[in-house]
Structure 1
Amino acid sequence: MGRRSVIVERDVEMQTRDGVTLRADVYRPQSAQPLPVLLQRTPYDKRFSALSFALMAADRGYAVVIQDTRGRLASEGEYYPLLHEKADGYDAVEWAAAQPWADGQVGMFGGSYVGYTQLAAASERPPSLKAIAPTMTFCDPYDMAYTGGAYSLGLSVSWALGSDALLRAMVLPEGPEKAARLEQVIDLMDGMASGDTFRRLPVADMPLIGRSHPPSFFADGLAHPTRDAHWRQVACAYESLDLPILHVGGWYDIFAAVTLSDYAGLRRAGNQRQRVLMGPWLHGPFEGLVGDVDFGVRASAAAVLPDEVQFRWFDHWLKGAENGAMDGPPIQLFVMGENRWRTEEEWPLARAQATTFYLHSGGSANTAAGDGALSMQPPSEEPVDSFVYDPRNPVPTRGGGLCCWRAALNAGAFDQRDVEARPDVLVYTTPALEQPVEVTGPVELCLWAATTAPDTDFTAKLVDVGPCGYARNVQDSIVRARFRQGGPQADFIRPNEPTEYVIQIGPTSNVF
């Protein structure tokens, strides 16, 4: 079959319910028949977002609409992240479905924030929205901004600078003001890699993105450290998301935990029309090379064909194709260590056995050369382990689920031995395993600790040590002491009093 001729329409206007003009680019094949629509709503510039996917989709008989969200680039209105995506998303879906070239059926696609715009629209239940395919995203934006009660400073600063401050500078009229603003943004972005940007205090007064530059989503997020009304207004209730959903996530993605918890929560709420594709990927490309570790060709886009996975999904739900998109187990996950794909019926796995490992030491678990041990034997009376935390020289993050500036926040799998050589890091390691051990499911650490401060952060990391000593990070997380209970109020700790902390390290599938 020959290629179709594609009609491209730029800056096609629609009106939201409150009278704001949003503009989209439309890609559609020359066809006398009405077509199903694939819609993407993006704050990242419609001219460059998913262009190759749009052309492929048009060639396969879809009309593709890529719209700038409110206040971004070609669209009018005031930009404030997340706030208008529910109502604007509903309006965009129904507008697209009513176009003369549309058959009334709409699907949505895209990742990260563009995944959230799908969930936000879907939570309003527009009747023409038949299926979505959110990639590496979240139902509740609080889970984007906070982990274990700690503000996700790296993500928040890098995203606000790179996607907000930089874009605002680029659209200024040519002249000295624009040049000066761009220099300031670039200096702050370069300062992330050196650490200078992150050391600025108070954090809420960060140049260009802080409270002196309203409206400041960054500063507002800092001011709302619990799951309060600020976050609830933009959260997507599981009960309202009852349409077919294809979730795509990665073990080294910053949203790995919420990808799977959202799936499980939606399933508990009654949505049985879901599928999950969970690879070893970080927040971005579908590649087998994740950080410094190569998980092989099976993990790469060349083998997975993520675009084809999405087309199969939309062909089934928008075109009625009997292509097996809903056949078989709903979860396809990549087992690291074995480096192979496997299907599962549920998450967490019903057949998984919750297994407890205990921390042991003779009182000197500092560094990988210390006497920290990890075993299934419950501890007896043992001395405490201690370390000195110096906020002027914090333990660096080396890989893991990070976003959104690679020079400063390089995500993925890396050797942790340099980190484990620090005296302010406690390391607990099993003896060499006699046989492979698979860990598939959520991992948590129950920690009893005391500190001289009324508040602090504790972090935990699961590491796979290879025969040569290479220490690959598998998952990690954090808890802020005053929010250790997860409730709406801060509960500061009593200095020097042993306190229990439960750190949700995160989900994984790894053979040690």
Structure 2
Amino acid sequence: MKKSFLLIFLIANSICFFGQELSFKKIAISDSVAIANQMQQLAKLCNTENVSELDLFRIQLIRGNYIDALVTIKKRIKETPKEERQYLDVYLQYVEAKLSKNFKETFINSYKNYLEESSDIHVINLDKTLILRDATDYYISDFNESYSSISSDRISIDKAQDLIKKYFLKTVFSSTRTLYFDEIRHDHKRRYIINDSIVISMKDGAEVSVVLVQKRGQSTTKKAAILVSSIYAGSNETGAMLAASKGYHGVITNTRGKRLSKSPIIPFEHEHTDVYEVIDWISKQSWSNQKVAMFGGSYNGFTQWASMKHKVHPALKTIVPMVSIAPGIEYPMENNVLHNFSYSWNFYVTNNKYLDFEASGDYNRWNTLKNTWYKSGVAFNKLDSLDGQVNKLWNTYMAHPNYDTYWKKMIPYKQEFAKIDIPILTITGYYDDSQRGAMYYFNEHNKYLQNANHYLLMGPYDHWTAQTKPVESLRNYELAPSALINIEEDILYQWLDYVLKGKKKPSILNDKVNFQVMDTDTWMHKPSLSAMTNDTLKFHLSDEKSNDLYTLKSNPNSSEIVLTVDFKNRESMNNTEYYPWPLEKANINLKDGLLFKSNVLEEDVIINGSFLGDLEFTLNKKDVDLSVILYQLTPEGNYFHLSYYIGRASYAQNKEQRMLLKPNQTNKVHLENSKLISKKIQKGSRIIVVVNVNKNNNAQINYGTGEDVNSESIKDANIPLEIKFTGNSSISLPIWRENYK
């Protein structure tokens, strides 16, 4: 007893006020009891005036004032809709359990009752929030690292409060994770019959793993099946449960080699036959009514198109591809420029039968790799040598820089789109990394099939929110209320019910092309992409300067604007701000590329669509990777990122065949396939255009020799690139004028 009292006394006296700082003596992080006591004493010194309700609760809980903490969290919960309080409910049950005599038993019983009183959809969302996106290990390491990093014998009040917050998260979730994991999974079994041991043999002898989810009491009822085909094994069960809760049978099939399949894991290459065979298997089951629909995003969007490569299965009635990647089109390259983000993805999906979160989350490894590569100047095809681990899939990508037969065999190609005659709803976002993949399918389908029954839904969404539920703020842009639609739970199932059950079509789909106009609270609905615009703003580059920026002119001119890029210089990079994050900022790098500004716009206009570029230039190389970024300079002086383009000039005319440029002669390159956007541009704004050359640690560096870019290195950088743009170069913005005549 005396020993315990002495320990508490020493801990309490290891934290003392010193002006606006606290004296602080670190304890071994492994001594959990001492750490807990120290954090309790630290919490008692924290000022609770002018703190948020949630911060007050955290401080009260770590202080051990559980009764006060209970009052505070109940007040916060009362003010929060149930669908937004998944974490708050855990906090409530945690503090109630701390007030009981048996923490574990009380928490389990409380959480079990809570689940039984919840709807199917709420429990599904609990799974997605607390299990699929479980952050407990992060909370533990975040506190441990923050604590261990303290190198002084004093800490600020702010640092103390930050430590309390991190300790709170570590404490609550590390002590409850296994409990609510088990209860959520038990609750799923109460609601659904989940058969996760199905293995189907393909015609070539390979195996594909399948999961079937059915509502209890309805497993023999003939219903339509909602299929998700995914390489992300173990991450789609909640989607199948949602399908079952909406009156369908939910089915998941994983890429061959994943989950229970004994076949090799090879992304992309077999979905064009495997998914069709899974649809055929579904249609022959006793519980099937011979109607199948597919949905899913990213890779799971690609698989839907792959299933129709050779023909559309008679049972497949509709697909809803969201943020769909198009192999060889926008993944892993963008307009034939190979990015390195796919390098780590390969390990994430092929290291084991499920997903390797440890590999994908090893940001130090990936950042070190790309920085080492850039600094060293070695060839791009040496990445895995630098990494110390062979990346077979990556090497395959590099062997196919053209859109050749390797890529073409994966998804429909040209006339193969003409036979796809089922209703389709494509969903993407203005800031979706795979937008150009989604738009490739939409454009090709409409090109080769007249009057295709294909709808498009777009808004201010990114790769995640365009397949789930948009959030109120996207990269510091506040969405209008009309943009806050629930895609995953509402729009998707309104569409599926429309096609499969004959119900009303989603009201938001008033025409074939439906898009939310940023900086307004309205949607526009048009019969085609071309109908989105009724005018064009065309700007020509010029060498006339105003306040350090070149000016954009309305007509061609005799200007020559020179950009010099020294590929040997690795102390700086070019085109580092192409990625739109955040969307609006006070400043941009005025020395990165050639920057041009327009005159002040004299009226409001809406940019609707993808900008085009027609660049005329001479250069001293045989090739170049070009970039164009489009900003709105607002009347308030902020830069709003509208769109961008990155592409290899030698493929601008034909992505299937490289056509080298002519050194020291006039070259004309047409740029298309930029990111589509719809946004109101206010009167008083200017358009900013940044023309640049891509040279950074995020993608290949094209040294311009005309040889394989993957094999080029800094040894090819003896002569800097000099590119001279003429005043015949132009950037064209598709716009909509409300009062256009």
Matches within 5 A, 1:295-444: 295-300=479-484, 303-323=485-505, 328-349=510-531, 352-362=534-544, 369-376=547-554, 378-390=555-567, 392=570, 393-398=572-577, 400=579, 413-415=583-585, 417-419=587-589, 421-422=590-591, 424-444=592-612
Residue 36 of structure 1: CA displacement?
Answer: 0.8
Q: Please name the residue that 2:445 is paired with.
A: 266
Which of the numbers 400, 404, 408 marks the counterpart of 1:232?
408
Residue 384 of structure 1: CA displacement?
Answer: 2.8
Residue 195 of structure 1: CA displacement?
Answer: 3.1
- Supply the AA of the counterpart residue of 2:225: V
Residue 102 of structure 1: CA displacement?
Answer: 1.6
Cα distance in 2, alignment partners of residues 495 and 202 from structure 1: 23
SS of equivalent residue, structure 2 residue 307: helix
Is the Cα–Cα contact under 8 Å of residues 614 and 669 in structure 2 kept in the other structure? yes
Q: Structure 1 residues 76-85 or 479-488, which shifts more?
A: 479-488
Q: Does residue 1:456 correspond to 2:624, yes or no?
A: yes
SS of equivalent residue, structure 2 residue 280: helix
Cα distance in 2, alignment partners of residues 209 and 125 from structure 1: 44
Q: Structure 1's 271 and 13: CA in aligned 2 closer, same or farther, altered over 3 A? A: farther
Q: Please name the residue that 1:405 is paired with.
A: none
- Supply the AA of the counterpart residue of 1:236: P
In structure 1, runs of 5+ residues without a counterpart are: 172-180, 402-410
In structure 2, runs of 5+ residues without a counterpart are: 1-118, 121-189, 682-741
Cα distance in 2, alignment partners of residues 73 and 186 from structure 1: 26
Is the Cα–Cα contact under 8 Å of residues 260 and 347 in structure 1 kept in the other structure? no
Q: Please name the residue that 2:384 is paired with.
A: 207
Matches within 5 A, 1:109-124: 109-123=295-309, 124=311
Q: Please name the residue that 1:249 is paired with.
A: 428
Q: Please name the residue that 2:455 is paired with.
A: 275
Q: Structure 1's 229 and 148: CA in aligned 2 closer, same or farther, altered over 3 A? A: same
Q: Structure 1's 397 and 10: CA in aligned 2 closer, same or farther, altered over 3 A? A: same
Is the Cα–Cα contact under 8 Å of residues 481 and 521 in structure 2 kept in the other structure? no
Is the Cα–Cα contact under 8 Å of residues 532 and 609 in structure 2 kept in the other structure? no
Overall identity of the aligned pairs, in %? 20
Q: Does residue 1:142 correspond to 2:323, yes or no?
A: no
Q: Structure 1's 122 and 210: CA in aligned 2 closer, same or farther, altered over 3 A? A: farther
SS of equivalent residue, structure 2 residue 595: coil
- Supply the AA of the counterpart residue of 1:34: K
CA deviations over 1:199-244 (Å, ceiling 9, x no partner): 6733223328999736x22211212111111111113132232211
Cα distance in 1, alignment partners of residues 658 and 388 from structure 2: 23
Q: Structure 1 residues 330-339 or 79-88, which shifts more?
A: 330-339
Q: Does residue 1:217 correspond to 2:387, yes or no?
A: no
Cα distance in 1, alignment partners of residues 494 and 257 from structure 2: 33
Residue 57 of structure 1: CA displacement?
Answer: 1.8
Is the Cα–Cα contact under 8 Å of residues 230 and 255 in structure 2 kept in the other structure? yes
- Supply the AA of the counterpart residue of 2:299: Y
Residue 160 of structure 1: CA displacement?
Answer: 2.4
CA deviations over 1:46-71 (Å, ceiling 9, x no partner): x222x333222212211101122111
Residue 339 of structure 1: CA displacement?
Answer: 4.8
Is the Cα–Cα contact under 8 Å of residues 281 and 288 in structure 1 kept in the other structure? no
Cα distance in 2, alignment partners of residues 52 and 455 from structure 1: 47
Q: Structure 1's 58 and 109: CA in aligned 2 closer, same or farther, altered over 3 A? A: same
SS of equivalent residue, structure 1 residue 115: helix
Matches within 5 A, 1:20-35: 20-29=206-215, 30-31=217-218, 32-35=220-223
SS of equivalent residue, structure 2 residue 596: coil
Q: Please name the residue that 2:238 is paired with.
A: 52
Cα distance in 2, alignment partners of residues 48 and 288 from structure 1: 25
TM-score by length of 1: 0.84
Residue 475 of structure 1: CA displacement?
Answer: 0.9
Q: Does residue 1:69 correspond to 2:255, yes or no?
A: yes
- Where is the helix percentage greater, Structure 1 or Structure 2? 2
Cα distance in 2, alignment partners of residues 245 and 438 from structure 1: 27
Cα distance in 2, alignment partners of residues 261 and 205 from structure 1: 31
Q: Structure 1's 291 and 70: CA in aligned 2 closer, same or farther, altered over 3 A? A: same
Cα distance in 1, alignment partners of residues 642 and 280 from structure 2: 43
Matches within 5 A, 1:63-212: 63-123=249-309, 124-139=311-326, 141-151=328-338, 153-165=339-351, 170=356, 187-191=364-368, 195-196=371-372, 201-207=378-384
Cα distance in 2, alignment partners of residues 455 and 319 from structure 1: 54
CA deviations over 1:250-293 (Å, ceiling 9, x no partner): 11112223423422321231353221110111111233422232
SS of equivalent residue, structure 2 residue 538: coil
Q: Structure 1's 389 and 437: CA in aligned 2 closer, same or farther, altered over 3 A? A: farther
Residue 10 of structure 1: CA displacement?
Answer: 1.5
Cα distance in 2, alignment partners of residues 168 and 8 from structure 1: 18
SS of equivalent residue, structure 1 residue 328: coil
Q: CA RMSD in A?
A: 3.1
Residue 166 of structure 1: CA displacement?
Answer: 7.8
Cα distance in 1, alignment partners of residues 282 and 355 from structure 2: 31
- Supply the AA of the counterpart residue of 1:191: T
Cα distance in 2, alignment partners of residues 129 and 198 from structure 1: 47
Cα distance in 1, alignment partners of residues 653 and 439 from structure 2: 22
Is the Cα–Cα contact under 8 Å of residues 207 and 257 in structure 2 kept in the other structure? no
- Supply the AA of the counterpart residue of 1:73: R
- Supply the AA of the counterpart residue of 1:418: I
Q: Which has the larger radius of gyration?
A: 2
Q: Structure 1's 166 and 187: CA in aligned 2 closer, same or farther, altered over 3 A? A: farther
Q: Structure 1's 497 and 211: CA in aligned 2 closer, same or farther, altered over 3 A? A: farther
Q: Structure 1 residues 111-120 or 4-13, which shifts more?
A: 4-13
Is the Cα–Cα contact under 8 Å of residues 265 and 350 in structure 2 kept in the other structure? no
CA deviations over 1:138-185 (Å, ceiling 9, x no partner): 45543323333322x1442243244345878949xxxxxxxxx95996
Is the Cα–Cα contact under 8 Å of residues 242 and 270 in structure 1 kept in the other structure? no
Which of the numbers 478, 496, 506 marks the counterpart of 2:675?
506
Q: Structure 1 residues 257-266 or 454-463, which shifts more?
A: 257-266
Cα distance in 1, alignment partners of residues 264 and 584 from structure 2: 41
SS of equivalent residue, structure 1 residue 379: coil
Residue 91 of structure 1: CA displacement?
Answer: 0.7
Q: Does residue 1:284 correspond to 2:460, yes or no?
A: no
Cα distance in 2, alignment partners of residues 115 and 22 from structure 1: 18
Cα distance in 2, alignment partners of residues 501 and 113 from structure 1: 31
Matches within 5 A, 1:477-492: 477-486=645-654, 488-492=656-660
Cα distance in 2, alignment partners of residues 414 and 197 from structure 1: 31
Q: Structure 1 residues 252-261 or 433-442, which shifts more?
A: 252-261
